[in-house]
Chain A
Amino acid sequence: MKSDRYFGLFIVVVALAFIASATQIQTSFLADPVGPKTFPFILGMVLAVCGLYVALRPDEEQMRVQSIGKVAFAAAVLVGYAYSLRPGGFLIPTAIASGLISYQISPRVVPALITGLALSVGLFLLFKFALGLGLFAWPRAWFG
């Protein structure tokens, strides 16, 4: 089955969910003639129709994803980075995350290590001193 068929059906489901949650919107006594529900309703309808169209008349091209594992890994690295940036300071999480992403693009250990360290220190100096952003270098726990 063509990938567009799945995509179209997925969009139809999203559209129906959107319409369903639009019915839950509270209306105020101050409501204007259109109210807060109508526009989301119209959007949901258009979305559903377009989704159906794509599902019924899909493009010929099949979606090709060569290495979904790499992308999933990169996304996981970024999620970890997002959580560690606040408690962990700038330098250590940035070095690890950019090193890992560099390794994903070109799998060589030494250049990836150097990239991680250099980007972490270089960007820190740039942001902190040249541009004056308030970043913490080290984990806050280290200094109480």
Chain B
Amino acid sequence: METLAFLAQGFAVALTPKILMLAVAGCIIGTVVGALPGLGPTNGVAILIPLSFSFGLNATEALVLMTSVYYGAMYGGRISSILLNIPGDEPALMTTLDGYPMAKAGRAGDALVLSGVASFVGAMLATIGLIILAPVLARIAFLFGPAEYFALYLLAFATLGGMSSKNQAKAAIAACLGLGISMIGLDNSTGLPRFTFGNLHLMDGIDFLVAIVGLFAVTEVFVFIESHGRESAIGIKIAKLRIPVRDIMRSGVTMLRASLIGFVAGVLPGAGASLGSFLAYMGEKAMVRDNSKFGHGDPRGVAAPEAGNNAAAGGALVPMLTLGVPGSGTTAVLLALLVTLNITPGPLLFQERPEVVWGLIAALLIANVVLLILNVPMVRIFVLLLSVPPWVLLPGVTMIAFVGIFSLSGSSFDLLLMIAFGVMGFFLRKLDVPAVPIILGILLGNEMEDSLRRAMVISSGDWRFLFSSGIAIGLWSAAVIGFCAPMFLRRLLKRPQALTD
């Protein structure tokens, strides 16, 4: 009941013309960002954050705009997966497996409508899950002291490195690089400079927005230039748009199961939407009775990953809002937005700024309905956008990134730093080193060090204090398991593959 009252309050915040306009604008931009290959949710949100400050939006408005973009990108990714067999963004990769065969069989329209509905179901259920779970988790989070927070940050790095990368050592290197970069600047507790080498620009530390835009947007441009760029062209036309009622009915259970799997994957810190859609697809393939058509255009194989990745997107907001620990790359970028807006995510957010949290949740529910309308009856407009050639798109993206960072600080130093991050990101990408742990490190570095130091102040230097509570021990063991288990699982999973090859 209490929740419903809060939700009503949230709708009162969200149902103002300005917020509604921002939500619709965010949905449109998000779908475009998701649909265009080479621009994913992380890039899209990263490029837009600096701009949203320049417009002078307040906290709720900026957050509504960005999360609408985030949700929208999850919807949009499927369009190019189905029509071009190129995932519009990383989480939409699994949708190519059955979406493209369906489109080749002349059912492109059906696949788009079905995946749109599946996205809606996934996102809606996840938002409801967020409404139920977030306040509970926020209450539990009050039990967290500095020692528990330190273990939680460690868990985020461990699961991110363990699950979403091929090589744990490389993920750990990325995390350390990010944490190291966050050390640059004035030390929080003593006020003395660290790693600034006497450079005044470095005294303030490195702005994580500069790092984010560099590592995602600029790197993307370099990678594209280097790989000569594929010309994207419309492969398959949509003949007729109708609602495939039978397919939707048949995959109803699939959507529910996939949403649940996706949501859980999203809530786990560091796992994210790509893992959500992967698990949803594999889970569905294992659970249905007749899976012989999976991979050859089974409608359930389109519905499962789409419901899964949208549910994971919603789930990833739970740890971000309640604990301040992002569940995925894009929520890491959203966390950067919150921090820059001077909002500290965590349990206190729900008590001190309920209008922000519940306004956001209400806006998400509204955005979801808008997205369903945009992505089912109006999907043709976005299909047209896929014909924008990369030699127009990528220079455009670069220039928007530059203007965004330039309008923040007006200094060429930040622009140069952004290019440097872009070059670094390019080489790291070539070496298979993931970029998301770097961002997470830059974002959480100071918090992580502070919680360690605060814990040590409390215990006057006794390191055993870090393992003194049940929650802390649980988090430490989860971190160790999350980091190490994939190594052994990978070996088990690889063996049969090596045999069949």
Could you tell me which residues of chain A, from 71 to 129, have a CB within 8 Å of some CB in chain B?
A: 71, 74-75, 78-79, 81-83, 85-86, 90, 94, 97-99, 101-106, 111-112, 115-116, 118-120, 123, 127
Q: Is the CB of B391 within 8 A of A75?
A: no
Q: Report A72 CB to chain B, min CB distance, Å.
A: 9
Residue of B nearest to A104 (CB): B225
Query: Which of A34, A64, A67, A99 is within 8 Å of B456, CB to CB?
Result: A34
Could you tell me which residues of chain A, from 17 to 31, have a CB within 8 Å of some CB in chain B?
A: 18, 21-22, 25-28, 30-31
Query: Which of B54, B226, B456 is within 8 Å of A32, CB to CB?
Result: B456
Residues of A within 8 A of B402 (CB): 78, 81-82, 85
Is B293 an interface residue, CB under 8 A from the partner? no
Q: Is the CB of A101 within 8 A of B398?
A: yes
Looking at chain B, what size class is its interface with the partner chain? 35 or more
Residue of B nearest to A76 (CB): B419
Is B170 an interface residue, CB under 8 A from the partner? yes
Residues of A within 8 A of B180 (CB): 18, 40, 43-44, 47
Q: Is the CB of B410 within 8 A of A86?
A: yes
Q: Is the CB of B192 within 8 A of A101?
A: no
- What 1/0 mask marks residues of chain B from 415 to 458 whose CB sits below 8 Å from any chain A CB? 11001001100100011110000000000000011001100110
- What 1/0 mask marks residues of chain B from 171 to 191 whose CB sits below 8 Å from any chain A CB? 011001101100100010111
Query: Which of B190, B392, B396, B460 is within 8 Å of A36, CB to CB?
Result: B190
Q: Report A16 CB to chain B, min CB distance, Å.
A: 12
| Most chain B Cβ neighbours within 10 Å, of A22, A71, A81 | A71
Majority SS at the chain B contact face: helix
Q: Is the CB of A43 within 8 A of B183?
A: yes
Residue of A nearest to B426 (CB): A71
Looking at chain A, what size class is its interface with the partner chain? 35 or more
Q: Is the CB of A78 within 8 A of B419?
A: yes
Residue of A nearest to B170 (CB): A54
Q: Report A30 CB to chain B, min CB distance, Å.
A: 6
Q: Is the CB of A64 within 8 A of B391?
A: no
Q: How far is the CA of A84 from the CA of B373 in the complex (A)?
A: 44
Is A65 an interface residue, CB under 8 A from the partner? yes
Q: How far is the CA of A21 from the CA of B195 in the complex (A)?
A: 7
Q: Is the CB of A40 within 8 A of B183?
A: yes
Is B222 an interface residue, CB under 8 A from the partner? yes
Could you tell me which residues of chain B, from 390 to 424, have a CB within 8 Å of some CB in chain A?
A: 390-392, 394-396, 398-400, 402-403, 406-407, 410, 412, 415-416, 419, 422-423
Residues of A within 8 A of B430 (CB): 63-65
Query: Which of A30, A82, A98, A120 is within 8 Å of B419, CB to CB?
Result: A82
Majority SS at the chain A contact face: helix
Q: How far is the CA of A35 from the CA of B399 in the complex (A)?
A: 42
Is A144 an interface residue, CB under 8 A from the partner? no
Query: Which of B176, B197, B228 is within 8 Å of A66, CB to CB?
Result: B228
Q: How far is the CA of A47 from the CA of B458 in the complex (A)?
A: 28
Is A53 an interface residue, CB under 8 A from the partner? yes
Could you tell me which residues of chain B, from 40 to 58, have a CB within 8 Å of some CB in chain A?
A: 51, 54-55
Q: Known: A31-B190, A40-B183. Contact between A82 and B452, CB under 8 A?
A: no
Is A131 an interface residue, CB under 8 A from the partner? yes
Q: Report A41 CB to chain B, min CB distance, Å.
A: 11
Q: Report A80 CB to chain B, min CB distance, Å.
A: 10
Residue of B nearest to A68 (CB): B226
Residues of A within 8 A of B403 (CB): 90, 123, 127, 133, 135
Q: Is the CB of A78 within 8 A of B395?
A: no
Q: Is the CB of B432 within 8 A of A61?
A: yes
Q: How far is the CA of A43 from the CA of B398 in the complex (A)?
A: 33
Q: Is the CB of B218 within 8 A of A78?
A: yes
Q: Is the CB of B183 within 8 A of A98?
A: no
Q: Known: A74-B225, A101-B221, A102-B395. Contact between A43 and B176, CB under 8 A?
A: yes
Residues of B within 8 A of A64 (CB): 430
Q: How far is the CA of A114 from the CA of B406 in the complex (A)?
A: 24
Query: Which of B226, B415, B457 is within 8 Å of A33, CB to CB?
Result: B457
Q: Is the CB of B399 within 8 A of A4?
A: no
Is B199 an interface residue, CB under 8 A from the partner? no
Q: How far is the CA of A11 from the CA of B422 in the complex (A)?
A: 18
Q: How far is the CA of A83 from the CA of B413 in the complex (A)?
A: 9
Q: Report A82 CB to chain B, min CB distance, Å.
A: 4
Is B227 an interface residue, CB under 8 A from the partner? yes
Is B474 an interface residue, CB under 8 A from the partner? no
Could you tell me which residues of chain A, from 37 to 71, have a CB within 8 Å of some CB in chain B?
A: 39-40, 43-44, 46-47, 50-51, 53-54, 57, 59, 61, 63-68, 70-71
Q: Is the CB of A47 within 8 A of B55?
A: no
Residues of B within 8 A of A90 (CB): 403
17 contacts between A and B (CB under 8 A): A25-B192, A25-B195, A32-B189, A36-B194, A39-B453, A44-B180, A46-B172, A50-B170, A68-B226, A71-B226, A74-B221, A78-B419, A83-B412, A85-B415, A98-B399, A105-B394, A105-B395
- Further 12 A-B residue pairs, CB within 8 A, beyond A71-B423, A97-B399: A34-B453, A40-B195, A59-B167, A64-B430, A68-B226, A71-B426, A86-B412, A101-B221, A101-B394, A102-B394, A105-B391, A119-B399
Enumerate the 8 nearest inter-chain pairs by beta-carbon distance, A residue then B residue, closest first. A33-B461, A82-B415, A98-B395, A106-B391, A28-B190, A47-B176, A105-B391, A101-B395
